[in-house]
Structure 1
Amino acid sequence: MSTTKANRRHETQIVADPALPTILIIREFDAPPDRVFRAYTDPELVIQWLGPRRLTMRIDEYDTRSGGSYRYVHREDDGTEYGFRGVFHEVRLDERIVQTFAFDGFPDGVSLETTVFEDLGGRTRVTTTSLMDSVEARDSMIKSGMQRGVREGHERLDELLVAARAAAPTDVPREKASDHDKRNR
């Protein structure tokens, strides 16, 4: 595989169809789906990678069960805070997460996000589709700087997965769906 092709798969693709109120985000990671899924659902890991580097993060709630909810806050050095919240509507171990997403600053602007974890044989393609209320709401989200935050977050997730791979044996036993549910109650 050429270096160019390898680097391209590590680029976060963000696509906004002008005619649809959606944002499509695609990124590949050099880790199997179980590890990437865990990084998306374990609050101790989420806090280490989600969002831009310049912000600190506090998680108030992160219950990754179907029907569970979440709320977290990103904070600037000057004390400005940005809160986000939602509900997990479907959590399918290592495969899929469906959740709502809302920014506290725009409480009426709720999006529905579906994240799919595709097994690429030791690697994972993560595809998130966000459905907004309108094209205008989608454009407002993009203008807010979300692209930078998503890209930096994915870079941080890459770093976290590389560090975890270096620190952990390759044959870590997989948890069963019932263990995942127990851990997240």
Structure 2
Amino acid sequence: MTSHSAVHDTFRIDRHFDASPDRVFHAFADPAAKARWFGGPAEMKREDESFDFREGGRETMVTVFDDGTRYGFYATYVDIVPAERIVYTYEMTMNGQRISASVVTVEVRGGQAGGTDFAVVEQGVYLDGLDNSAQRRQGTEDLMDALGKSLS
């Protein structure tokens, strides 16, 4: 008999970017701009990509590592307020098995000293010990670093 578990956690990451809120939002909304920072290293193989940035739209991507491990990202956009907010749900899979499901809120606001104050909040459930909040937070921190570099 297989033991199943569900661990819930929420984390928040705040950043300031020296770019306008429109430009930061564009980095999420435009497929070419998002491809510059979202995903993994360029040498990783990416498959089954789709990008439909609208309320009710879906974004998908499967990343294949050198050892053959396949990670799937399957998102649905729930709420979009241009240059202000994005809310989406997503699930992650590993070799076809669901390892987590999350709700994410991205907020962009003009900073008092210029640029953009940015926050991402993720509420996740990590399934059967196959993923965890610490790993997800680190991965999201890495993505936010890549986003910042893409905006420079």
Superposed displacement of residue 96, structure 1: 0.3
Higher-Rg structure is 1
Write out aligned runs for 1:131-150 (5 A).
Answer: 131-133=123-125, 140-143=131-134, 145-150=135-140
Of stretches 22-31 and 56-65 in structure 1, the one that deviates more from structure 2 is: 56-65
Residues 91 and 140 of structure 1: is their aligned pair in 2 closer, same or farther, counting only changes over 3 Å? same
Whether contact under 8 Å (1:55, 1:75) holds in the other structure is: no
Partner of 1:173: none
Q: Confirm or deny: 8 A CA contact 2:11 2:137 kept in the other structure.
A: no
More deviation, 90-99/48-57: 48-57
Residue matched to 2:70: 81
* 1:125-161 superposed Cα distances (whole Å, 9 cap, x missing partner): 2211112247x88994324x33332233222222221
Does 2:90 correspond to 1:112? no
> Whose strand proportion is higher, 1 or 2?
2
Q: Normalised by the size of structure 2, how large is the TM-score?
A: 0.77
TM-score (structure 1 length as normaliser): 0.65
Residues matched between the structures, number: 141
53-62 or 74-83: which moved more? 53-62
Structure 1: stretches of 5+ with no match in the other structure: 1-19, 163-185
- What residue is the counterpart of 2:119 in the other structure? 127
Q: Write 1 or 2 for the structure with the bigger share of helix.
A: 1
Do the aligned residues in 2 keep the contact of 1:113 with 1:131 (CA within 8 Å)? yes
Cross-structure match for 2:84 = 95
% identical equivalent positions:
28
